[in-house]
Amino acid sequence: MAARRGALIALEGVDRAGKSTQGRRLVQGLRAAGHKADLIRFPDRTTEIGQLISSYLVREKDLEDHTVHLLFSANRWEHVPLMKEKLHQGITIVVDRYAFSGVAFTNAKGNFCLDWCKQPDVGLPKPDLILFLHLSPEEAAERGNYGHERYESSSFQEKVLQSFYCLMEDKTLNWKTVDASQSIEDLHREIKSIAEKTMEEVQNKPLEELWK
Ligand code: Z5A
Ligand code: MG
């Protein structure tokens, strides 16, 4: 019998919704429950490509919009061989942002259609579950002001949210929206329960390719 595979679980959502907090907490919680689990945060600013992206985000460097879109995608592709290896070893991978952030942020710039934005990420490992952490702009504001990185303004974030809603219409993907205004622990419990159910459901299913 083939070995059971891990699940690929993506966390997406609006700015300050708690994706990074929940990503860390989920991997901790899964490990404590005896599962094998790893976390990857996109962009991964530690690689050479990631450092270029980071210098763009902190406004040290200006990059042309198509170029930066392709760099965000390349930053995901450079992780794919290891992601596949781990998934096939039965390790569940939690990704803090994925291709959906890539598409939503570039599409929000206005002159890039969704189809163009998706192309570089076609064929990435397809998430078994995409958790969308939903938080109203008012509740997000209570979590502090925007930082000084690129994209951190309420008008741009509203456009990003509209792009996410378009992506969520794709019924070939397993989107689940969760209420991110709950306490960190309540939200963690809800997310962990959905994640464990998905892990059980997909363990004997082949890993698919995104948008193919
Ligand atoms: N980007 C892109 O353009 N293209 C791409 O392909 C990708 C990304 C992958 C950097 O991302 C930027 O890159 C981002 C999208 C773009 N631009 N923006 N905006 P990032 O992931 O590095 O961004 P970040 O700095 O991690 O911010 P974030 O993701 O928006 O935040 P978060 O991870 O969702 O939230 P958090 O860090 O977990 O929590 C925020 C605060 O709220 C913190 O003080 C927590 O303690 C607090 N918090 C969290 N949960 C709760 C609850 N439940 N209650 C109360 N307070 C809470
Ligand atoms: Mg984050």
Superfamily of domain 8-203: P-loop containing nucleotide triphosphate hydrolases (3.40.50.300)
Q: What is the whole-number distance in angstroms between the Cα of residue 73 and the centre of ligand 2?
A: 17
- CA dist., res. 68 & res. 72, Å (int): 6
What is the per-residue pLDDT for 1?
A: 55
What is the per-residue pLDDT for 108?
A: 98
Q: Tens of pLDDT along 59-100?
A: 999 999 999 999 999 999 999 999 999 999 999 999 999 999
Answer yes or no: is the C-beta of 152 below 6 A from any ligand 1 atom. yes
Confidence band for 42, pLDDT divided at 50, 70 and 90: very high
Compute how many other C-beta atoms are within 10 angstroms of the C-beta atom of residue 177: 13
* The dihedral sign for the CA sequence 73, 22, 187, 57: negative
Residue of the CA atom closest to atom 41 of ligand 1 = 16
Confidence band for 111, pLDDT divided at 50, 70 and 90: very high
Q: What is the whole-number distance in angstroms between the Cα of residue 42 and the centre of ligand 2?
A: 9
Answer yes or no: is the C-beta of 20 below 6 A from any ligand 1 atom. yes
Name the packing angle between helices 65-77 and 48-57 (round to 10°).
140
Q: Is the pLDDT of residue 53 over 90?
A: yes
Between 209 and 139, name the one with better pLDDT.
209
- pTM of the model as a whole: 0.98
* The dihedral sign for the CA sequence 152, 156, 161, 167: negative
What is the per-residue pLDDT for 2?
A: 67
**Average pLDDT of the chain?**
96
What is the per-residue pLDDT for 206?
A: 98
